[in-house]
Amino acid sequence: MKNRLPYEMTSKAIKGYSDSAIAKGETNDCVVRAFASSFEIPYDAAHEYVATYFNRKPRRGTFGTSLKLVKMANEEVVVNEKKVHLVGYRFTPSMFGTLSYDVKVKGEIKKRNMTVGTFIKKNPIGTFFVIVSGHAFTIKDGVVIGNYEDSVKVRRVMKCAFEIK
């Protein structure tokens, strides 16, 4: 496929994912998997952290993730010796970064929303916690860690992105 991004399976990218009894019984855990792969912590530890800090219920989605990550960035919370840094937010005041960019179309400058494919081109190095509509995944040095579809849907518009370093 021409428009496919490099992809790494969750079972290889997340410590303890294959052996985790919790992971085998989970659904709607994209935030847990993104958290584990971004911060390089075992799945079970990420599951516990997200349940506690993000108020996630078992086998349910995680709500308010972007706001919790912004709060973690503002409070400089450290997890596994790493901090969250806001890269951009789609609907943001100018004090935050923005996930839009300028494109010249027929001599006229227009704003475009950042897509996953464009984001990886502009940010080839680093670890990023990415949120799109109803879903979260990790991009680590240009490689997508999440569901396989995340590497195929390169034109998906991003809601927000956080660098983990």
Higher pLDDT, 91 or 115: 115
Q: Is residue 116 part of a domain?
A: yes
Q: Is residue 2 part of a domain?
A: no
Q: Is residue 110 part of a domain?
A: yes
- Residues of the chain with pLDDT > 70, as a percent, come to 95
What gap in Å lies between CA 70 and CA 73, rounded to an integer? 5
Total of domains in the chain:
1
Beta bridge partner(s), residue 38: none
Q: Is residue 152 part of a domain?
A: yes
Q: Is residue 140 part of a domain?
A: yes
Q: Is residue 85 part of a domain?
A: yes
φ/ψ region of 119 (left if φ > 0, alpha if ψ in -120 to 50, else beta) reads alpha
At which residue do the structure tokens 């085998």 appear?
24
pLDDT (tens digit, 9 = 90+) per residue, 72-108? Answer: 999 999 999 999 999 988 765 544 567 888 888 999 9
As a whole number of Å, the end-to-end CA separation of the chain is 31
In the chain, which residue ranges form alpha helices assigned H by DSSP?
A: 10-13, 21-24, 30-39, 43-53, 65-74, 116-122, 148-152
Count how many Cα atoms sit within 13 Å of the Cα of residue 148 in the half-sphere of its side chain. Answer: 1
**Angle 30-39/43-53 helices, nearest 10 degrees?**
120
Q: What average pLDDT score do residues 52-61 get? A: 94
Q: What average pLDDT score do residues 8-21 get? A: 93
Q: Is residue 154 part of a domain?
A: yes
What gap in Å lies between CA 104 and CA 57, rounded to an integer? 45
Enclosing domain of residue 144:
7-164
Q: Is residue 1 part of a domain?
A: no
pLDDT, averaged across the chain:
91
